[in-house]
A = this chain, B = another copy of it.
């Protein structure tokens, strides 16, 4: 595929109106061809207007038709998988084989959502039939279904350039909900973004759907002070926003959207240190093994994953020395590898310095860097009192580092757990004899995390019905939703109730004979 660098606004190829950029190969610090267009407020307005025009028709497509469209996107992603992975590798420094897997996962997500659409459970159909003879007054027939909230703006992530980017889970779940979508492509991988956008556009055309169902824009800047991002969040036709990235960037968009004359939901997935708690018997039995698994997962994606385990809490007793020694060894042997962008690399170094300025001891570091934006692995250690005193130590440092917290007893372990802000995930390493402490720890973690894992790590992510990739603030800006998994579709749906409708005017899903054979709750049963 020849990359044009254009913005893709419905069926229009829109060249630069606000300058251009080139992609950077972070492994070589070299720019890569071609020029990619920047747009601005006018392009956002065009895309939003098309998205609004397309909404009525797209949100009322048949479930079968919508599912077919999602499957077409998956097929088109499969057809460009090698090209997409190769370009994404150039732009991110991530291994091409891993990116092939990501592209396959992205296609799978579209197929999974096609199945969710076909099954129709997401419509949450409910019927309360008329009770004409009820006393003291009759009940009218009421029927409920969920429908798309409106055009959605999606801010792609930098760290998973396919599965959480243009053709990622946010786009798949929003399109499954019947929403129209405008993606703001991340500037860290513009070529990979264009390839994905074209796969989606091709599927739109193949399925005869209106052009405004999908657009992709791009602009200069990122985070706050990001003109195109602000234009998206401000646009009156945009009715919901998703964002994956830093707490600073996410909260700037969140607060801006809440200052609109009509505030809109903004789901931001921002930050998490994904603590692991090792209980005493597990530590004594297999401290070295746990430390090994922990560092292995910590290093995934050069530490640039939202589910990276970055914090390990263990009681200093039997097994602790073995744990620490293994972690030190694994970190010491770790190669420095290319980080995603110069900005992330600089933030990583700044984050490490901030940790050390409040007393984190550098107990191990990995092999030295050989290129400008290589991230060198680091292991820090502090004791429990220090951790409880210095809140900086609980903040995420995005990159290949971890913090070992050496606590003196069970009460201090629980105090550390209680001190934590909201997290995407937490893990407990336990043996049978650790159950009493596990039962005390569990409610503390339930309040603070969207997912709790026993004797394993949250990464890699499973995308299924029981997936929760969410959690209390600051992990996300709304703990009631998940951004990954089949129920992430709920972010984009609102209920509508139809009261006293003649059958012919009802949506097909709610007609009396249930022509689509969908699951429906009748009188609460």
Q: Which residues of A contact B (CB under 8 A)?
A: 55-56, 60, 115-116, 119, 124, 126-128, 137, 139-140, 142-144, 147, 149-150, 239, 254-255, 258-259, 262-265, 421-422, 435, 438-439, 442-443, 446-447, 449-456, 458, 460, 462, 464-468, 470, 472-474, 477-480, 482, 486-487, 490-491, 493-502, 504-505, 521, 523-524
Contacts and interface: CB of A to CB of B under 8 A. Distances in A.
A500 B466 contact: no
A498 B452 contact: yes
Contacts of A521: 465
B466 A128 contact: yes
B524 A465 contact: yes
A124 B486 CA distance: 13
A92 B524 CA distance: 35
Nearest to A455: B500
Given A263-B473, A496-B451, A468 B144 contact: yes
Closest 3 pairs (CB-CB, A-B): A468-B497, A142-B466, A258-B258
One complex includes copies of this chain to the number of: 2
Contact of A119 (B262, B449, B524): B524
Contacts of A477: 263
A505 B438 contact: yes
Contacts of A60: 443
A502 B502 CA distance: 51
A502 B499 CA distance: 46
Nearest to A479: B494
Given A435-B504, A450-B497, A451-B497, 13 more contacts: A55-B447, A115-B524, A119-B524, A128-B464, A254-B263, A258-B263, A263-B473, A435-B505, A453-B500, A454-B500, A454-B501, A470-B495, A479-B494
B460 A137 contact: yes
Nearest to A421: B262
A139 B502 contact: no
Contact of A496 (B147, B439, B450, B486): B450
A480 B447 contact: no
Contacts of A502: 435, 454
Contacts of A501: 452, 454
A496 B478 contact: no
Identify which of A126, A265, A468, A472 gathers the most chain B CB atoms within 10 Å of its CB: A468
26 contacts: A55-B447, A56-B443, A124-B487, A128-B462, A137-B460, A139-B464, A140-B453, A142-B464, A254-B263, A255-B258, A258-B258, A263-B477, A435-B505, A442-B505, A453-B500, A454-B498, A454-B500, A454-B502, A456-B500, A464-B524, A465-B523, A467-B497, A468-B495, A480-B490, A480-B493, A480-B494
A497 B452 contact: yes
A237 to B, nearest CB: 11
A298 B303 CA distance: 62
Nearest to A57: B443
Interface centre among A239, A450, A455, A495 (most CB of B within 10 A): A495
A319 B38 CA distance: 57
A465 B126 contact: yes
